[in-house]
């Protein structure tokens, strides 16, 4: 399950109608993103990596499991 809530005075508020029994273990992850990252698109943030891998096999997309895990190649 995945729900997005907010913190109000150090208490996590879940959306209306979402209830968990007392004692339920949960993981809390902040979704706040630093301002300098938020202003750039994903392409802008990854721009320095474009073209860095220029010696990969031409069939990598189709046969990634072969190259990574040793599975048989796909035709």
pLDDT value at residue 39: 74
Predicted confidence (pLDDT) at residue 73 exceeds the cutoff of 90 = yes
Q: What is the mean pLDDT of residues 55-72?
A: 95
Rounded CA separation 20/46 (Å): 39
CB distance 62 to 74 below 8 Å:
yes
* pLDDT tens, residue by residue, 8-43: 998 888 899 998 899 989 888 887 777 766 677 888
pTM for this entry: 0.38
């Amino acid at each position: 399950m995945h729900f997005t809530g907010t913190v109000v005075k150090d208490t996590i508020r879940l959306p209306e109608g979402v209830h968990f029994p007392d004692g339920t273990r949960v993981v809390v992850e902040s979704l706040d993103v630093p301002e300098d990252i938020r202003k750039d698109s994903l392409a802008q943030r990854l721009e320095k990596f474009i073209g860095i891998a220029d010696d990969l096999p031409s069939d990598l997309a189709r046969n990634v499991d072969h190259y990574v895990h040793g599975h048989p190649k796909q035709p």
